[in-house]
Every structure is written in C-alpha cells, then in structure tokens.
Amino acid sequence: MEKRFIELLCPAGNMDKLKMAIRYGADAVYCAGQHFGLRASSSNFSNEELKEAVEFVHAHGKKIHVTCNIIPHNEDLVGLEEYLVYLESIGVDAIIVADMGIFGLAKRVAPKLELHVSTQASTTNFMTVQMWKDLGAHRVVAAREVSIKDLKEMKDKVDIEIESFVHGAMCIAYSGRCLMSNYMTGTRDANRGQCSQSCRWKYSIVESNRPGEYYPIEEDDKGTYIFNSKDLCLLGHIPDLYEAGIDSLKIEGRMKSVHYVATVAKVYREAIDKYLEEGENWYVRPEWIAELEKISHRPYTEGFSVGKANETAQNYGKSSNTQTHDFIGLVEGYNVEGGYAELEQRNNFKVGDKVEFCQPKGPNVEHVITKMTDVDGNEIDVAPHAQMKVHLYIDTPLEPFSMMRRECKVKEEA
C-alpha cells in the first residue's frame, strides 16, 4: 500500500522517559516545563533540561512538543512571555495550548513555534477546527469525546493536522476540564495542573440527618467507584484512524513509569509499521495485547471511538491499576567476549529468577539467571541495591536499553 506518514506521539514526564520513548519507537514526544502545564506533580523539565531534551530528540530526527495547556488565572501569566520566547530559542517544535490568551501571546512573541490546540479546548466539530486553523493553529488535538467517524469528517473538511488520543487514562470530566478536584480539596485545580484524581476515590451515600452512616451506592460492601474510567486502548483501530487521515496518534501517560512509556511505544510502533506493511491483511497480534497487560493499567475501553461510551467504560469495582510484570533491570550494554549483559539494577533480583528482556527493536528474550557478578568480577547471588551495576551472563546478545522484567503476582496500585 502507498505509505502516508502517521506520527506516534509519546509522553515524557522526565528525561529518562523521554529518551526511552524515542529509543522504543516514538516519532515525537510531549513534555512540560516546570510551569504552565497540566501535570504539576510530574517531575517535568527545568529550562536547562528542556534544552538538553530538544538536542537529544532532534539528534534522533524526531520532534518535541511542550505543553502550555493550563487554563490560567491572572497570576499564572507571570513569566509566560519569557518562557515562550525561550522555547522558541531552543528549537522546540510545537507548544500545546488550550487558552486563547496563551495562543495569541505565542503567535506574537514566538511565531516560529507551531501551535497545537490541546484536547482541553474541547474541539468536537469541523467548524471549530476551521476556526482554529483560521487563527493560525498548525494542529488540533481532538476532544476525547469524538468518534473516529467524526474525526474523519473533521479531516475531510479542514486541511489541518489532527491528533487523537489512542491509549492511556481517561477523565470523567468533559475533555478533562474538571472542577471536582478543586471542589473536593479546596486548593488543587485540575485546570491549572494540580489534579488530585478525585474521580478515582471511593464514594458512598450519606443521608444528611444520619452523619457518619455510609451507604454503598451499589449492593456491595466495598462501595463503588462511580466516576472511575477505564483506560483507553485503540490498538485495534489503527487501520480506521489511518484511513480517517489522522496525522498523530497520541499516548497518554506523562505521570506513568519508564516501563509503561517504553512498552506502549514499542507496541504501537510495531502495530503501525505492520499496518503500513500489510494493509488489509493486518491484524492485532496476541503478543501486543500481552505486552499491554504487563504494564500498570486499568481495564481497557474503546471510549468514544465508535460511538458514545456507556456504562462498560467505567470500572465500578476498584480504582487501582493492575500489572503482571515488574521492571527490575536496564541493559546498558552487552560484552560479546565475556558473554554477559551489563545491567543497572532497578529492583531486587537474584540467581534462579526467570526473567525476560524487552528490547527496543528486537523480540523479547526469556532467560533464567544462572550466574552474575559485580563489576569487579566477584560472583553474587542477589542484586539488592538500587542502581547497582551487575554483569548478568546470558548467551543471547541484548540491545542497549533493553528492560529486564520479572513476572509478579498481579498487583494493584492506586
């Protein structure tokens, strides 16, 4: 089939995640500085780190987008002009904006920056897409409440880039514009980057005349998580999104782990590339689904992709994530003569453990640890110390930045 480029856009909550996203197949990454983004509790990037990030991404021939997507109050605008000028000066490819004031300021003071309209702007129809184009936007990130059919109509009627979320956490609020966090905490405004995830909390009913007496909303002694959305997964709709003309497939998850970012990037990279190669013969590989189960996630849903979401898009029983594998080591290199992988420990592992290596490009490699040493060549039975360097003996050469994982009991994480 004739190939049209479609971008895989991955999250980067810090430098490690950014680099792993690029190494595992992202065409572009999105990240935030320490102000003006919607993930204030993420580690984010200092100005110096943003410059380093731009240099790394561009050295790999990829792109970097920076979020400036808060809904600002007057006091939030302090330093914004200087920040936008700085982003332009270091070569950031685009900024993601939800607010008209920030949009207008960026056009005036940093005209070389591409302007991408955030999903927070709730763009759900082609007339709004046309308006954003007329104002000077280069790309519109569609609202998550839009179906693939509607995305296609937007693309057909307006000649502009369209970006769509395909994987990751969903928000109970319309386009993520939530007031619940601020209401429940009094201080943490989700629209200014401080979401408390109130929708994931456990709720019961209290009758005003009976304070302290809690009644479950469902007939269940555990209560219910009535606002808790499942995670989005549109892996199976890659052909539909491609044929709809979508320009960028976006992965959610700047707050997620290195393991999550790398794994999801690799799965979607392989799936996109296979579709471009196979066309109508493409199908979802079971191993892709298996990989997406290994990372921390909630049950998956297709959201609004084929119509309005119904009750099956919510996870009423619990709010925690589950995962089946732990990330326990990072391969820094492979010594061919010695026959060992040079590892950095990320979690305790020992001789006898059955592990697998997820490689940036190659297939997964399974292995039972039979021998390992410290960097001085002394045999060890266990690697207990955080980030300690280990030589793990394995006959199969491994790619640098491969992740060593170990199956675990299915864990639940808040």
Report the chain (414 residues): mean pLDDT per 10 consecutive residues.
87 96 98 76 83 98 96 92 97 97 97 96 96 98 94 98 91 58 58 56 62 57 56 95 97 93 98 96 97 88 74 52 89 97 97 98 97 97 96 98 90 50
- The pLDDT value recorded for residue 214 is 60
In a domain, 277, yes or no: yes
- The pLDDT value recorded for residue 176 is 56
Q: Compute the distance between CA of residue 238 and CA of residue 235 in angstroms, rounded to an integer.
A: 6
- The pLDDT value recorded for residue 414 is 46
Q: Which domain range does residue 272 map to?
A: 7-174+228-318
Which among 360, 366, 369, 364 has a CA at the least distance from the CA of 399?
360
**End-of-domain residue from the set 264, 299, 318:** 318
Domain identity same for 255 and 399? no
In a domain, 206, yes or no: no
In a domain, 195, yes or no: no
Domain identity same for 365 and 292? no
- The pLDDT value recorded for residue 226 is 55
Domain identity same for 234 and 266? yes
Q: Compute the distance between CA of residue 356 and CA of residue 366 in angstroms, rounded to an integer.
A: 4
Domain identity same for 284 and 349? no
In a domain, 295, yes or no: yes
Which CATH number fits the domain that encloses residue 346?
Answer: 2.40.30.10
Domain identity same for 308 and 244? yes
Domain identity same for 312 and 391? no
Domain identity same for 168 and 254? yes
- The pLDDT value recorded for residue 299 is 83
Tokens in use for 145? 């409440």
β-strands 354-358, 403-413 pairing: antiparallel
- The pLDDT value recorded for residue 224 is 47
Instruction: Say if CB 244 and CB 155 are below 8 A apart.
Output: yes
DSSP 8-state class, residue 41: T
In a domain, 13, yes or no: yes
In a domain, 202, yes or no: no
Which CATH number fits the domain that encloses residue 58?
Answer: 3.20.20.70
- The pLDDT value recorded for residue 323 is 82
In a domain, 294, yes or no: yes
Domain identity same for 282 and 351? no
Domains held by the chain: number: 2
- The pLDDT value recorded for residue 213 is 65
In a domain, 403, yes or no: yes
Domain identity same for 253 and 393? no
**End-of-domain residue from the set 267, 302, 318:** 318
Q: What is the per-residue burial (b if ≥16 Cβ within 10 Å, else e) of 321-348?
A: bebebbbbbbbeebeeeeebbbbebbee
Q: Compute the distance between CA of residue 211 and CA of residue 357 in angstroms, rounded to an integer.
A: 54
**End-of-domain residue from the set 267, 288, 318:** 318
Domain identity same for 232 and 270? yes
Whole-prediction pTM value?
0.84
What is the DSSP annotation of 223-289?
Answer: -B-TT-BPEEE-GGGHHHHHHTT--EEEE--TTS-HHHHHHHHHHHHHHHHHHHHHGGG----HHHH
Domain identity same for 311 and 401? no
- SS3 call for 132: helix
- The pLDDT value recorded for residue 219 is 40
Angle, to 10 degrees, between the axis of helix 100-109 and the axis of helix 80-89? 50
Domain identity same for 257 and 347? no
